[in-house]
Amino acid sequence: MPANYKAELVGVIGQPVAENPTGVMQEAAFAARGLNWRYLTMEVPPSRLAEAVAGARALGFRGFNVTIPHKVAVMQHLDGISPEARMIGAVNTVRREGDCFIGENTDGKGFLRGVRVNAGVDPKGKRVFLLGAGGAARAIATELALAGAAEIVVLNRTEARGAAMVEDLCKNTGVKASLVVWRGTHVIPEGFDLVVNATSVGLYPDVAAMPDVDLRRLAPGTLVCDAVFNPPETRLLRTARSLGLPVLDGLSMLVYQGVIGFEIWTGQSAPEAVMYEALQKALRD
Ligand code: NDP
């Protein structure tokens, strides 16, 4: 067989991006599958986003992840957007089809896979209480709605942002959704099956922080989830656990969005356990 020294390229663009651990997980997956692929972590300021996408196209990138602050702005530089990413209004994964770049969003799909596989919960018919209305919240809410959730109540500090998200959610998915504006400690009422934190409260280095909610009225069995993955065990999850409630950490969402990305790019099944372990080790070190 003739030699082939040319690696296939993927990566992530964002700013700041140096601490993004996705590359560790994807490189471990490529090694485990014996693929000559590289995942590059690339710092790109907003003023150079258009050039970066054009450069990736010219360099033959097979795709790339997109993180803060480019998840919305990148859409105008792509050749197509998946229906789900369009509903969410943001792209976190780009795949190549011929010479075209297509935008996808795997954040909510990754969350959903974690709920199903790691927590053993089917969101169909469930009532969801969701904290936050940013990019992660939009992705999670959209996928939960598409998976048949019965109702989504959104709690957000900034009214305009929360209202815009709820309006889009109802219009795009037809789910029953409403907004509660967050003023001081919010006692989450009974009657919900899933509580999800999609705010950035509790994220490293502010690990002592917890979203200002009271979980004590939740019924036994209510699943409490956190999108924050660093640290994996947030104060919110510790509190839920101390009340005897089942929990799902943000690591599962991060791993599964990477698993889905790997499968989209390579067309092969992802070595999930290898990816999980690589990520856990990266966050521990
Ligand atoms: P955004 O900046 O888009 O949204 C942040 C949200 O947090 C907003 O709703 C904001 O409310 C709310 N918020 C921030 N500070 C507070 C506070 N002190 N009290 C109440 N609400 C607050 O961020 P993202 O949606 O992109 O990310 C949110 C979190 O999800 C981050 O921790 C991120 O790391 C995590 N994430 C995890 C992923 C995973 O794979 N596990 C993937 C993507 C994100 P307001 O509108 O009022 O400002």
- Output the pTM of the full model: 0.95
pLDDT tens, residue order, the chain (285 aa): 778 889 999 999 999 999 999 999 999 999 999 999 999 999 999 999 999 999 999 999 999 999 999 999 999 999 999 999 999 999 999 999 999 999 999 999 999 999 999 999 999 999 999 999 999 999 999 999 999 999 999 999 999 999 999 999 999 999 999 999 999 999 999 999 999 999 999 998 999 999 999 999 999 999 999 999 999 999 999 999 999 999 999 999 999 999 999 999 999 999 999 999 999 999 887
For the CA of 133, the closest atom of ligand 1 is 9
CA atoms of 279 and 139, how far apart (whole Å): 22
Q: How many helices (H) and strands (E) does the chain have?
A: 9, 14
Domain 8-105+252-284 belongs in CATH node 3.40.50.10860? yes
Ligand 1 atom 20 nearest Cα: 157
pLDDT of residue 3: 82
71 is catalytic: yes
Of 93, 125, 127, the residue nearest 108 (C-alpha): 93
Query: Residue 200 C-alpha to ligand 1 middle, in angstroms?
Result: 4
- For β-strands 37-43 and 8-14, DSSP reports them as parallel
The residue annotated as part of the active site, out of 6, 71, 176, 281, is 71
pLDDT of residue 4: 84
Domain assignments of the chain as residue spans, ordered by start: 8-105+252-284, 108-248
**Ligand 1 pocket, residue 268 CB under 6 Å:** no
For domain 108-248, give the CATH number: 3.40.50.720
Ligand 1 atom 39 nearest Cα: 254
